[in-house]
Amino acid sequence: MANYSSNTLVFQVITLVCLLFPAANCVQFTYPAVFNFGDSNSDTGELVAALGDILDSPNGQNYFKAPSGRFSDGRLILDFLMDAMDLPFLNAYLDSIGIPSFRKGCNFAAAGSTIQPASAQAVSPFSFGVQVAQFVRFKARVLELQAKGKRLDKYLPAQDYFQKGLYMFDIGQNDLAGAFYSKTYDQVLASIPTILIEFETGIKTLYDQGARYFWIHNTGPLGCLAQNVAKFGTDPASLDEQGCVSKHNQAAKVFNLQLHALSKKLQGQYTDSNFTYVDIYTIKYNLISNYSKLGFEQPIMACCGVGGPPLNYDSRIACGKTKEINGATVTAKACNDSSEYINWDGIHYSEAANQYVSSQILTGKYSDPPFSDKMPFLLNLKF
């Protein structure tokens, strides 16, 4: 698959936005910092640092050339958006090695995280409420250190960054995906309002802490992940025309409708703030539906896994791991060219897919409100 250069992409995005929205300020629009909350879709090393887990090669094989704490072969959507805003990649809150700088923001997202409080069996203890509490402590500690002098200023966000910064959210997928293991479809749908009450509570806490710019990703088509197709898609009647599990995707759509309504409610409630809702579901489902036209070879099958077609996925063995299965030693290895695959490891997207999704986000047409003179996501030319 041909990859765009970041320079070309940025130029095309600015040109497109300026043509579509001539009222927009097409000179410059930047946030001084980004504070991100989420799960593995935007985890840049939190879970690995927190639990001492090892993400083995070939994770990170593209761009980083080594495992980077990201559940992908390379960059995530968050990384591409940070690059588009001319900001450095975000350091994970708990990653303390190498004198990490938090000057331009901090990433609290952790793989496996849910909006609802974590159960004892959860992959991640860092549910949304915990991530918000971590932010509250982070802010308090920053202000405390700054009051003692300027020695650490180059590592810490300026005080006004907490109000001027962008607060990004991509979480909720694990609440839905996990629920299907123990609940019926109707029970999963019935749990959505409770999930979103928890999300609203976290947003209100952040608002009280000074947050004013909110950027909310909805959840993607989880029925198209090889992990869910392997577990819940054994009956062909349960699949849609793209080979995705219908009920998982339908639950995601219901969740997204209610999340969108909540976003509009919060915008009405907090009139001094900006809430932007981003339709990730539509972008990702369009990608899967039109994969061949967009230069991909495989829409659902994992690049890094075991078992071969049609899914190349086995829940017992993660990408890069070696295990004994049925008396044979098996290693989950990467395919020859991950840019031909939308899915990296059966659960997470490849860098090539993440780059495509990011390019679509940056057109502004999948956002509510669309990018305008009030809230443009406009970028600096990088030549």
According to the model, what pLDDT value does residue 28 have? 36
Confidence of residue 21 (pLDDT cuts 50, 70, 90): very low
pLDDT at 98 over 90: no
Q: Are strands 213-217 and 274-278 parallel, antiparallel or unpaired?
A: parallel
For position 231, what pLDDT does the model report?
98
- Structure-model confidence comparison of residues 240 and 370, the more confident one: 240
Is the pLDDT assigned to residue 230 strictly greater than 90? yes
Set 175, 345, 350, 359: catalytic member: 345
Whether 40 sits among the annotated catalytic residues: the reply is: yes
Arithmetic mean of pLDDT, 5-20? 43
Asked whether residue 157 carries a pLDDT value surpassing 70, the answer given is: yes
Q: What is the mean pLDDT of residues 173-189?
A: 98
238 a catalytic residue: no
**Residue 30 pLDDT:** 81
**In the prediction, which pLDDT does 370 show?**
86
CA–CA separation, 187 and 377 (whole Å): 38
Q: Given this model, what pLDDT does residue 220 score?
A: 98
Q: Does the structure show a pLDDT above 70 at 4?
A: no
Question: Is the pLDDT confidence value at 5 over 70?
Answer: no
Tokens of residue 122, six digits: 């959860």
Q: Is 348 a catalytic residue?
A: yes
- Per residue in 314-350, pLDDT (tens digit) is 999 999 999 999 999 999 999 999 999 999 999 999 9
Query: What six digits make up the tokens of 131?
Result: 């991530």
Of 54, 137, 43, 52, whose CA–CA distance to 91 is shortest? 43
Question: Residue 29: pLDDT above 70?
Answer: no
| Active-site position among 338, 348, 350, 358 | 348
CA angle 96, 100, 102 (to 5 degrees): 115
Which residue out of 39, 40, 42, 263 is catalytically annotated?
A: 40
Confidence of residue 376 (pLDDT cuts 50, 70, 90): very low
pLDDT at 368: 95
